[in-house]
Structure 1
Amino acid sequence: MTGFALDALDHVQLALPPGGEEAARAYYAGVLGMTEKSKPAGLAARGGCWFRSGAVELHLGVEQGFLPARTAHPGIRIRGLDALAARLTAYGAPVTWDDAIPGRRRFHTTDPFGNRLEFLEDT
């Protein structure tokens, strides 16, 4: 016995290049429909931005020498996968479907910085 239990994932942090906050807002709030969450004052000075939708919370932090996460990624469950795929396609983001997991429909895309995102829906 460990004496502790992991309850839930609180948030996932992705990196963005210096000055990328406006592009992050346009994508995460404008395209994905997430709501920007205020950062605590002590963290706001570092730059970046936080977004939330339902139980999903993503933090984007400024990283000097930024390189996008091309393999590591959050897997986000949604309802309305086809509608999101159409919205991302209209925005110009790549949508790469993958049927490798039985019982789930899913695709991968990238944010404006090249970070990989996975969206999936149970069938």
Structure 2
Amino acid sequence: MPRFHHANLGVPPGLDEAEGAFLIDVLRYRKLDPPPGLVGIARWYQADDGSEIHLSIDPEHRPAAHAHTAIEVDEGIEARLDAAGIAYRSGGFGDLVVTFCDDPAGNRWELRRPQGA
């Protein structure tokens, strides 16, 4: 059975620090050291479940109009988005609260958590 390992997201030069802060402070990923051949080209982050987000520095980065990365999050997500000054919209979807936001590089995220959590 396939198991998700990582998503690779583009980030324009100069936004890699802000993007890293979003992943660490808002989404609660932790920073990993990329392989030696990718230092300065890519940044790697890992969630508690072992899934990863890789960032590739891309001078031609253009965020997709509709594509997004969806992850499960905890109940504190809206407070962390507010603290980071990141705009979002949330709504109910069955037994879930689904929050959409854009990261500093303009990549879209779908943040999912159970209602009441």
Classify the secondary structure of the residue corresponding to 1:74.
strand
- State the identity %: 29
Are the aligned partners of 1:108 and 1:117 in contact in 2 as well (CA < 8 Å)?
yes
Report the counterpart of residue 85 of structure 1 in structure 2.
Answer: 78
The code of the aligned residue for 1:122 comes to: P
Q: Which residue, 98, 105, 115 being the options, matches 2:107?
A: 115
Deviation track 1:70-106 (CA, whole Å, cap 9, x = no partner) reads 41111101232xx11111012110121133x322211
Report the counterpart of residue 26 of structure 1 in structure 2.
Answer: 21
Report the counterpart of residue 43 of structure 2 in structure 1.
Answer: 49
Are the aligned partners of 1:14 and 1:60 in contact in 2 as well (CA < 8 Å)?
yes
The code of the aligned residue for 1:114 comes to: G
Q: Distance in 2 between matches of 1:122 and 1:52?
A: 22
Query: Alignment length, in residue pairs?
Result: 114
Consecutive unaligned residues of structure 2, counting only runs of 5 or more, are none
Report the counterpart of residue 62 of structure 2 in structure 1.
Answer: 67
Normalized against structure 1, the TM-score is what?
A: 0.81
Are the aligned partners of 1:52 and 1:58 in contact in 2 as well (CA < 8 Å)?
yes
The code of the aligned residue for 2:45 comes to: F
Q: Distance in 2 between matches of 1:59 and 1:51?
A: 6
Structure 1 residues 118 and 79, CA gap change in structure 2 (3 angstroms):
same
The code of the aligned residue for 2:91 comes to: D
| Largest Rg, 1 or 2 | 1
The code of the aligned residue for 1:120 comes to: R
**Structure holding more strand per residue:** 2
Are the aligned partners of 1:16 and 1:48 in contact in 2 as well (CA < 8 Å)?
no
